[in-house]
Amino acid sequence: MADHSDLDVVTMGEAMVLLAARQRGLLRHARQFERYVAGAESNTAIGLARLGHAAGWIGRVGDDEFGACVEAEVRGAGVDVSQVVRDAEAPTGVFFKERRRPGHTRVHYYRSGSAASRLAPADVNSRYLRGAQYLHLTGITPALSASCREATQAAVRAAREAGVPVSVDPNVRRKLWPTMEEARAALFELIAGAELVLTSAEEACLLAETDDLEEAARTLRGEGPSVVVVKQGADGAFAIGARDGEHERAHVPAVDTQAVETIGAGDAFNAGFLSGQLRGWDLEASLRLGAVTGALATVVPGDVEGLPTWAEVQPYLSGESVADR
Protein backbone atom coordinates (compact mmCIF):
# COMPACT_ATOMS: atom_id res chain seq x y z
CA MET A 1 0.00 0.00 0.00
CA ALA A 2 1.36 3.41 -0.93
CA ASP A 3 2.21 6.02 1.66
CA HIS A 4 -0.43 8.75 1.75
CA SER A 5 2.03 11.24 0.28
CA ASP A 6 2.50 8.95 -2.72
CA LEU A 7 -1.14 8.72 -3.78
CA ASP A 8 -1.79 9.53 -7.43
CA VAL A 9 -5.54 10.00 -7.11
CA VAL A 10 -7.89 10.44 -4.17
CA THR A 11 -11.61 9.83 -4.68
CA MET A 12 -14.47 10.57 -2.32
CA GLY A 13 -18.06 9.39 -2.31
CA GLU A 14 -20.61 6.67 -1.75
CA ALA A 15 -20.03 2.92 -2.07
CA MET A 16 -22.75 0.34 -1.50
CA VAL A 17 -23.36 -3.36 -1.56
CA LEU A 18 -24.99 -4.49 -4.80
CA LEU A 19 -27.26 -7.55 -4.91
CA ALA A 20 -27.92 -8.62 -8.49
CA ALA A 21 -30.73 -11.06 -9.22
CA ARG A 22 -29.34 -14.16 -10.91
CA GLN A 23 -32.46 -14.88 -12.93
CA ARG A 24 -34.33 -12.58 -15.29
CA GLY A 25 -37.72 -11.18 -14.41
CA LEU A 26 -39.30 -8.98 -11.78
CA LEU A 27 -37.31 -8.52 -8.60
CA ARG A 28 -40.24 -9.78 -6.54
CA HIS A 29 -39.70 -13.25 -8.01
CA ALA A 30 -35.92 -13.37 -7.50
CA ARG A 31 -34.67 -16.00 -5.07
CA GLN A 32 -30.94 -15.94 -5.69
CA PHE A 33 -28.60 -12.95 -5.80
CA GLU A 34 -24.93 -12.33 -6.52
CA ARG A 35 -23.20 -9.89 -4.18
CA TYR A 36 -20.92 -7.12 -5.43
CA VAL A 37 -19.59 -3.77 -4.17
CA ALA A 38 -20.06 -0.66 -6.27
CA GLY A 39 -19.89 3.11 -6.15
CA ALA A 40 -18.93 5.63 -8.83
CA GLU A 41 -15.90 6.99 -7.00
CA SER A 42 -14.67 3.71 -5.53
CA ASN A 43 -15.10 2.09 -8.96
CA THR A 44 -12.77 4.67 -10.48
CA ALA A 45 -10.27 4.26 -7.64
CA ILE A 46 -10.21 0.49 -8.20
CA GLY A 47 -9.83 1.02 -11.94
CA LEU A 48 -6.80 3.23 -11.33
CA ALA A 49 -5.28 0.69 -8.94
CA ARG A 50 -5.69 -2.05 -11.56
CA LEU A 51 -3.78 0.16 -14.01
CA GLY A 52 -0.89 0.48 -11.58
CA HIS A 53 -1.65 3.76 -9.82
CA ALA A 54 -1.81 4.52 -6.10
CA ALA A 55 -5.39 5.46 -5.26
CA GLY A 56 -7.22 6.32 -2.07
CA TRP A 57 -10.92 6.49 -1.28
CA ILE A 58 -12.65 8.70 1.30
CA GLY A 59 -16.11 7.56 2.41
CA ARG A 60 -18.48 6.47 5.16
CA VAL A 61 -19.94 3.00 5.65
CA GLY A 62 -22.10 1.54 8.37
CA ASP A 63 -20.46 -0.24 11.27
CA ASP A 64 -22.14 -3.41 10.04
CA GLU A 65 -21.43 -6.51 7.98
CA PHE A 66 -22.10 -4.77 4.67
CA GLY A 67 -19.79 -1.93 5.72
CA ALA A 68 -17.07 -4.44 6.49
CA CYS A 69 -17.72 -6.00 3.10
CA VAL A 70 -17.37 -2.70 1.25
CA GLU A 71 -14.18 -1.74 3.05
CA ALA A 72 -12.61 -5.16 2.56
CA GLU A 73 -13.45 -5.30 -1.15
CA VAL A 74 -12.06 -1.84 -1.89
CA ARG A 75 -8.95 -2.47 0.20
CA GLY A 76 -8.49 -5.85 -1.44
CA ALA A 77 -8.45 -4.16 -4.84
CA GLY A 78 -5.38 -2.19 -3.79
CA VAL A 79 -7.04 1.08 -2.79
CA ASP A 80 -6.10 2.89 0.42
CA VAL A 81 -9.11 3.01 2.77
CA SER A 82 -7.48 4.66 5.77
CA GLN A 83 -9.92 7.59 5.48
CA VAL A 84 -13.07 5.46 5.52
CA VAL A 85 -15.29 6.16 8.54
CA ARG A 86 -17.33 3.38 10.20
CA ASP A 87 -20.65 4.93 11.26
CA ALA A 88 -22.34 3.16 14.19
CA GLU A 89 -25.55 5.16 13.79
CA ALA A 90 -26.40 4.54 10.13
CA PRO A 91 -26.40 1.48 7.85
CA THR A 92 -24.44 0.80 4.71
CA GLY A 93 -26.51 1.49 1.60
CA VAL A 94 -27.72 -1.37 -0.59
CA PHE A 95 -29.01 -1.54 -4.14
CA PHE A 96 -30.50 -4.27 -6.28
CA LYS A 97 -30.23 -5.02 -9.99
CA GLU A 98 -33.28 -6.44 -11.71
CA ARG A 99 -32.61 -8.09 -15.08
CA ARG A 100 -35.96 -7.96 -16.82
CA ARG A 101 -34.70 -8.98 -20.26
CA PRO A 102 -31.39 -9.18 -22.15
CA GLY A 103 -29.77 -5.77 -22.33
CA HIS A 104 -32.21 -4.15 -19.90
CA THR A 105 -31.32 -3.65 -16.23
CA ARG A 106 -33.39 -1.81 -13.65
CA VAL A 107 -31.73 -0.61 -10.45
CA HIS A 108 -33.43 -0.20 -7.06
CA TYR A 109 -31.59 1.89 -4.45
CA TYR A 110 -31.96 1.74 -0.66
CA ARG A 111 -29.68 4.57 0.42
CA SER A 112 -31.91 7.02 2.33
CA GLY A 113 -30.39 7.66 5.76
CA SER A 114 -27.33 5.58 4.92
CA ALA A 115 -23.89 6.14 6.39
CA ALA A 116 -22.69 7.53 3.06
CA SER A 117 -25.40 10.19 3.15
CA ARG A 118 -23.88 11.43 6.44
CA LEU A 119 -20.52 12.30 4.88
CA ALA A 120 -19.51 15.72 6.26
CA PRO A 121 -16.69 18.29 6.00
CA ALA A 122 -15.09 16.79 9.12
CA ASP A 123 -14.47 13.61 7.11
CA VAL A 124 -12.22 15.49 4.68
CA ASN A 125 -8.60 15.35 5.84
CA SER A 126 -6.77 18.08 3.92
CA ARG A 127 -3.40 16.50 4.72
CA TYR A 128 -4.51 13.33 2.95
CA LEU A 129 -4.96 15.25 -0.29
CA ARG A 130 -1.52 16.83 -0.30
CA GLY A 131 0.79 15.29 -2.84
CA ALA A 132 -2.01 13.68 -4.87
CA GLN A 133 -2.07 14.34 -8.60
CA TYR A 134 -5.88 14.48 -8.75
CA LEU A 135 -8.94 14.59 -6.52
CA HIS A 136 -11.78 12.82 -8.33
CA LEU A 137 -15.41 13.57 -7.41
CA THR A 138 -18.84 12.99 -8.92
CA GLY A 139 -22.15 14.80 -8.81
CA ILE A 140 -23.74 11.92 -6.91
CA THR A 141 -22.16 12.89 -3.60
CA PRO A 142 -23.55 16.44 -3.29
CA ALA A 143 -26.98 15.09 -4.27
CA LEU A 144 -27.18 12.73 -1.30
CA SER A 145 -27.63 15.32 1.46
CA ALA A 146 -26.76 18.83 2.59
CA SER A 147 -23.80 17.53 4.60
CA CYS A 148 -22.54 15.60 1.57
CA ARG A 149 -22.70 18.75 -0.52
CA GLU A 150 -20.75 20.62 2.17
CA ALA A 151 -18.19 17.79 2.28
CA THR A 152 -17.77 18.01 -1.49
CA GLN A 153 -17.24 21.76 -1.28
CA ALA A 154 -14.72 21.28 1.53
CA ALA A 155 -12.81 18.70 -0.51
CA VAL A 156 -12.61 21.01 -3.53
CA ARG A 157 -11.37 23.88 -1.36
CA ALA A 158 -8.76 21.68 0.30
CA ALA A 159 -7.55 20.36 -3.06
CA ARG A 160 -7.26 23.80 -4.60
CA GLU A 161 -5.40 25.13 -1.55
CA ALA A 162 -2.98 22.21 -1.89
CA GLY A 163 -2.58 22.76 -5.64
CA VAL A 164 -4.24 19.44 -6.47
CA PRO A 165 -6.31 19.43 -9.70
CA VAL A 166 -9.94 18.37 -9.34
CA SER A 167 -11.57 15.90 -11.72
CA VAL A 168 -15.38 15.81 -11.85
CA ASP A 169 -17.91 13.45 -13.41
CA PRO A 170 -21.31 15.22 -13.09
CA ASN A 171 -23.11 11.85 -12.95
CA VAL A 172 -26.52 13.52 -13.00
CA ARG A 173 -29.07 11.54 -10.97
CA ARG A 174 -32.41 13.30 -11.40
CA LYS A 175 -34.16 11.24 -8.73
CA LEU A 176 -31.70 12.48 -6.11
CA TRP A 177 -32.39 16.17 -6.75
CA PRO A 178 -35.60 18.06 -5.80
CA THR A 179 -35.48 19.93 -9.12
CA MET A 180 -33.24 20.06 -12.17
CA GLU A 181 -32.60 23.73 -11.42
CA GLU A 182 -31.10 22.83 -8.05
CA ALA A 183 -29.05 20.10 -9.68
CA ARG A 184 -27.64 22.51 -12.26
CA ALA A 185 -26.73 25.07 -9.60
CA ALA A 186 -24.88 22.52 -7.47
CA LEU A 187 -23.18 20.77 -10.38
CA PHE A 188 -22.07 23.97 -12.08
CA GLU A 189 -20.57 25.03 -8.75
CA LEU A 190 -18.67 21.73 -8.66
CA ILE A 191 -17.59 22.03 -12.29
CA ALA A 192 -16.34 25.59 -11.73
CA GLY A 193 -13.80 24.24 -9.23
CA ALA A 194 -12.54 21.49 -11.54
CA GLU A 195 -9.64 21.28 -13.96
CA LEU A 196 -11.10 18.25 -15.72
CA VAL A 197 -14.72 17.29 -16.43
CA LEU A 198 -15.69 13.81 -17.62
CA THR A 199 -19.33 13.67 -18.66
CA SER A 200 -21.70 11.65 -20.80
CA ALA A 201 -23.19 13.22 -23.92
CA GLU A 202 -26.68 13.09 -22.44
CA GLU A 203 -25.60 14.77 -19.22
CA ALA A 204 -23.64 17.47 -21.03
CA CYS A 205 -26.70 18.46 -23.05
CA LEU A 206 -28.95 18.25 -19.99
CA LEU A 207 -26.73 20.55 -17.95
CA ALA A 208 -26.14 23.02 -20.77
CA GLU A 209 -29.80 22.95 -21.83
CA THR A 210 -29.03 22.36 -25.49
CA ASP A 211 -29.25 19.54 -28.03
CA ASP A 212 -25.99 20.67 -29.65
CA LEU A 213 -23.28 18.48 -28.12
CA GLU A 214 -20.39 20.69 -29.21
CA GLU A 215 -22.12 23.72 -27.74
CA ALA A 216 -22.75 21.79 -24.53
CA ALA A 217 -19.07 20.89 -24.22
CA ARG A 218 -18.04 24.49 -24.81
CA THR A 219 -20.56 25.67 -22.21
CA LEU A 220 -19.13 23.33 -19.58
CA ARG A 221 -15.57 24.36 -20.41
CA GLY A 222 -16.63 27.98 -20.14
CA GLU A 223 -17.34 27.36 -16.45
CA GLY A 224 -13.62 27.01 -15.79
CA PRO A 225 -12.24 23.50 -16.51
CA SER A 226 -9.16 23.22 -18.71
CA VAL A 227 -10.43 20.01 -20.31
CA VAL A 228 -13.91 18.63 -20.94
CA VAL A 229 -14.31 15.00 -21.99
CA VAL A 230 -17.60 13.78 -23.45
CA LYS A 231 -18.35 10.05 -23.39
CA GLN A 232 -20.59 9.04 -26.29
CA GLY A 233 -21.04 5.31 -25.81
CA ALA A 234 -21.08 3.54 -29.17
CA ASP A 235 -19.88 6.76 -30.83
CA GLY A 236 -16.66 6.87 -28.83
CA ALA A 237 -15.54 9.95 -26.93
CA PHE A 238 -14.11 13.39 -27.57
CA ALA A 239 -12.30 16.02 -25.56
CA ILE A 240 -11.75 19.74 -25.88
CA GLY A 241 -9.04 21.66 -24.09
CA ALA A 242 -5.98 23.80 -24.56
CA ARG A 243 -2.27 23.03 -24.77
CA ASP A 244 0.34 25.78 -24.71
CA GLY A 245 -2.38 28.34 -25.31
CA GLU A 246 -3.69 26.53 -28.39
CA HIS A 247 -7.17 25.01 -28.67
CA GLU A 248 -7.04 21.22 -28.76
CA ARG A 249 -9.71 18.71 -29.78
CA ALA A 250 -9.47 14.95 -30.01
CA HIS A 251 -11.86 12.10 -30.75
CA VAL A 252 -11.57 8.31 -30.57
CA PRO A 253 -14.02 5.62 -31.70
CA ALA A 254 -15.56 3.11 -29.33
CA VAL A 255 -13.82 -0.21 -28.73
CA ASP A 256 -15.84 -3.16 -30.00
CA THR A 257 -16.62 -5.74 -27.30
CA GLN A 258 -19.45 -8.10 -26.42
CA ALA A 259 -21.01 -6.11 -23.59
CA VAL A 260 -22.77 -8.02 -20.82
CA GLU A 261 -23.38 -5.14 -18.41
CA THR A 262 -22.82 -1.47 -19.26
CA ILE A 263 -23.39 0.00 -15.78
CA GLY A 264 -20.02 1.14 -14.48
CA ALA A 265 -18.49 1.67 -17.94
CA GLY A 266 -18.31 5.43 -17.40
CA ASP A 267 -16.39 5.01 -14.14
CA ALA A 268 -13.98 2.66 -15.89
CA PHE A 269 -13.51 5.16 -18.72
CA ASN A 270 -12.70 7.83 -16.13
CA ALA A 271 -10.00 5.61 -14.64
CA GLY A 272 -8.46 5.04 -18.05
CA PHE A 273 -8.48 8.70 -19.04
CA LEU A 274 -7.01 9.76 -15.69
CA SER A 275 -4.34 7.08 -16.07
CA GLY A 276 -3.37 8.56 -19.43
CA GLN A 277 -3.15 12.04 -17.96
CA LEU A 278 -1.06 10.76 -15.05
CA ARG A 279 1.34 9.26 -17.59
CA GLY A 280 1.67 12.61 -19.35
CA TRP A 281 -0.21 11.51 -22.47
CA ASP A 282 -2.06 13.88 -24.77
CA LEU A 283 -5.85 14.01 -25.03
CA GLU A 284 -6.15 11.49 -27.87
CA ALA A 285 -4.00 8.85 -26.19
CA SER A 286 -5.79 9.35 -22.88
CA LEU A 287 -9.17 9.05 -24.61
CA ARG A 288 -8.06 5.81 -26.25
CA LEU A 289 -7.06 4.31 -22.92
CA GLY A 290 -10.39 5.45 -21.46
CA ALA A 291 -12.27 3.82 -24.33
CA VAL A 292 -10.42 0.55 -23.81
CA THR A 293 -10.94 0.40 -20.04
CA GLY A 294 -14.58 1.42 -20.40
CA ALA A 295 -15.23 -1.29 -22.97
CA LEU A 296 -13.45 -4.08 -21.11
CA ALA A 297 -15.37 -3.29 -17.94
CA THR A 298 -18.61 -4.28 -19.66
CA VAL A 299 -17.72 -7.83 -20.65
CA VAL A 300 -18.58 -9.38 -17.27
CA PRO A 301 -21.29 -8.64 -14.67
CA GLY A 302 -20.48 -6.25 -11.84
CA ASP A 303 -19.17 -2.70 -11.79
CA VAL A 304 -15.51 -3.52 -11.12
CA GLU A 305 -15.03 -7.21 -11.92
CA GLY A 306 -14.13 -6.45 -15.55
CA LEU A 307 -11.78 -3.53 -14.85
CA PRO A 308 -8.57 -4.38 -16.73
CA THR A 309 -4.97 -4.43 -15.56
CA TRP A 310 -2.24 -2.51 -17.35
CA ALA A 311 -1.11 -5.72 -19.07
CA GLU A 312 -4.65 -6.44 -20.28
CA VAL A 313 -5.05 -3.10 -22.05
CA GLN A 314 -1.76 -3.39 -23.96
CA PRO A 315 -3.03 -5.44 -26.94
CA TYR A 316 -5.80 -2.91 -27.52
CA LEU A 317 -3.44 0.05 -27.35
CA SER A 318 -0.83 -1.54 -29.61
CA GLY A 319 -3.29 -2.89 -32.17
CA GLU A 320 -2.18 -6.50 -31.63
CA SER A 321 -4.58 -9.41 -31.99
CA VAL A 322 -6.83 -9.92 -28.99
CA ALA A 323 -8.39 -13.15 -30.24
CA ASP A 324 -7.05 -15.05 -27.26
CA ARG A 325 -8.90 -12.89 -24.75
Mean pLDDT of 248-267: 89
Average pLDDT score, the chain: 93
Q: What is the pLDDT of residue 73?
A: 97
pLDDT of residue 116: 98
Q: Read out DSSP for 293-305?
A: HHHHTTSSSSSST
Rounded to whole angstroms, the Cα distance separating 72 from 266 reads 23
Q: Which amino acid is present at 119?
A: L
The answer to whether the beta carbons of residues 44 and 19 sit under 8 Å apart is no
Report whether pLDDT(325) > 70: no
Determine the Cα–Cα distance for residues 7 and 132; give it in Å rounded to an integer: 5
Q: How far out from the chain centre does Cα 192 lie?
A: 18
Tell me how crowded residue 13 is: count the other CB atoms within 10 A of its CB.
31
pLDDT at 257 > cutoff 90: no
Give me the pLDDT at residue 6, please: 84
Q: Inform me whether the pLDDT recorded for 324 exceeds 50.
A: no
Query: Are 154 and 162 a contacting pair, CB within 8 Å?
Result: no
Contact 250, 283 (CB under 8 A): yes
Indicate the DSSP class of residue 80.
B
Q: What is the pTM of this model?
A: 0.94
Is residue 101 very low, low, confident or very high in pLDDT (cuts 50, 70, 90)?
A: confident
Across 287-314, b (16+ Cβ under 10 Å) vs e yields bbbbbbbbbbbbeebbbbebbbeeebbe
* CA distance linking residue 310 with residue 88, whole number of Å: 38
> How much is the pLDDT for 320?
64
> Which CATH number does 4-14+39-91+114-310 carry?
3.40.1190.20
Exposed / middle / buried, residue 147 (Cβ in 10 Å: 0-12, 13-18, 19+): middle
pLDDT of residue 38: 93
**Residue 318: predicted pLDDT:** 86
Is residue 245 over pLDDT 80? no
Strands 84-87 and 16-21, bridge-based pairing: unpaired
Query: What stretches of 253-309 show up as alpha helix (H) in DSSP?
Result: 265-278, 283-296
Sign of CA dihedral 199, 204, 206, 212: negative
Are 118 and 145 within 8 A, CB to CB? yes
38-42, 125-129, 261-265: least confidently modelled range: 261-265
228 and 217 Cβ atoms separated by less than 8 Å: yes
Closest CA to 10 of 127, 121, 117, 115: 127
Q: Answer yes or no: is pLDDT of 242 > 80.
A: no
Residues contacting residue 245 through CB under 8 Å, at least 6 positions apart: none
Share of the chain above pLDDT 70, in %: 95
Higher pLDDT, 324 or 19: 19
Per-residue pLDDT at 103? 66
What integer pLDDT is reported at residue 1 of this predicted model? 44
Per-residue pLDDT of 53-79, as tens digits, reads 999 999 999 999 999 999 999 999 999
Q: How far apart are CA 130 and CA 321, in angstroms?
A: 41
**Rounded distance, CA 184 to CA 98, Å?**
29
Give catalytic status of residue 256 as yes or no.
Answer: no
Q: Which of 8, 80, 87, 267 is catalytic?
A: 267
- Picking from 164, 173, 149, the residue whose alpha carbon sits closest to that of residue 95 is 173
